[in-house]
Amino acid sequence: MDPAKPLAGKVSLVTGASRGIGLAVAVRLAQLGSDVAICARNPERLAEAEDELERQGVRVLTSAADVRRASEVQAFVEAAEHTLGEIDIAVNNAGVGIFVSGHQATEEQWNTVLDTNLKSVFLVSRAVAPSMIRRKSGHIINIGSMAGKSAFAGGAIYSASKWGLLGFSQSLAEDLRGYGVRVSVVAPGSVATEFSPHAGKDTSKMLQPEDVAHAVEAVVTQAPQSFISEILLRPAQKP
């Protein structure tokens, strides 16, 4: 095995991967030798991401899937398995942020955030787990947030989704560890992406998408007798 390509022969699936953290994670996994399946809802950005990933010399599958819908998640996973092979690494990154006082939020806003940030993690995990269990191997990595650890004004819906993601992930890890399947959470603070406004902050001091990708690399290259259950990622300096 090429030590520079420890994931050669592996297949990774990344949601919300047409830009930002998801794309950085997908690129890092491809650089490590993994074939990659990605999804997002913007076909144009998906095409750009596909070009960038193919330059890494790996096989790539893209899908304009809506991860809030069970049928589309299942179709995406099945297409990835048919084209690339069974999933070894699943990174649940798709997410949205709506920041509003909890008592002023609408039901639509609640459903949008919880379905995207939490329900999708359940749907993808449920779809990839059976083959991982059968093979007694696999990684499910959920991109959380420090908002799942700390409350803040205007963050009721978003924090609820990320606190829920942490609880789901920890319980799923217990469900699957006996089968050799490892479930981990990478929870960064604010990352310099288009995800949310960063007024008044020095983005050069903020976390970068590549920092999150590095944390994912640490998880998937961990020795087989242990697993990293949670990584809390903070910038070295406050922006």
Q: What are the tokens at 67?
A: 């991860």
Whether 196 shows a pLDDT value over 70: the answer reads no
Whether 197 shows a pLDDT value over 80: the answer reads no
Report CA-CA distances (Å) from 108 to 113, 115, 120, 147: 9, 10, 16, 21
Report CA-CA distances (Å) from 22 to 54, 184, 223: 16, 16, 24
Asked if residue 144 lies in contact with residue 121, where contact means CB atoms within 8 angstroms, the answer is no
Instruction: Provide the pLDDT for residue 237.
Output: 87
Mean pLDDT of 155-173: 98
Q: What angle do CA 152, 153, 159 make, to 5 degrees?
A: 50
Whether 167 shows a pLDDT value over 80: the answer reads yes
Q: How many CA atoms lie within 13 A of 234 on its CB side?
A: 7
Whether 181 shows a pLDDT value over 90: the answer reads yes
Residues with a catalytic annotation lie at 158
Which pTM value belongs to this model? 0.96
Q: What is the DSSP letter of 207?
A: B
pLDDT in tens, 81-127: 999 999 999 999 999 999 999 999 999 999 999 999 999 999 999 99
Instruction: Provide the pLDDT for residue 239.
Output: 76
Rounded to an integer, what distance in angstroms lies between the CA atom of residue 1 and that of residue 79?
27
Q: Taking phi first (over 0 means left), then psi (-120 to 50 degrees means alpha), and beta for anything else, what does residue 16 get? A: left
Instruction: Provide the pLDDT for residue 198.
Output: 66
Q: What are the tokens at 87?
A: 């999933």
Domains located in the chain, CATH noted: 11-233 (3.40.50.720)
pLDDT in tens, 2-12: 889 999 999 99
pLDDT-based confidence at residue 199 (cuts at 50, 70, 90):
low
Rounded to an integer, what distance in angstroms lies between the CA atom of residue 80 and that of residue 72?
12
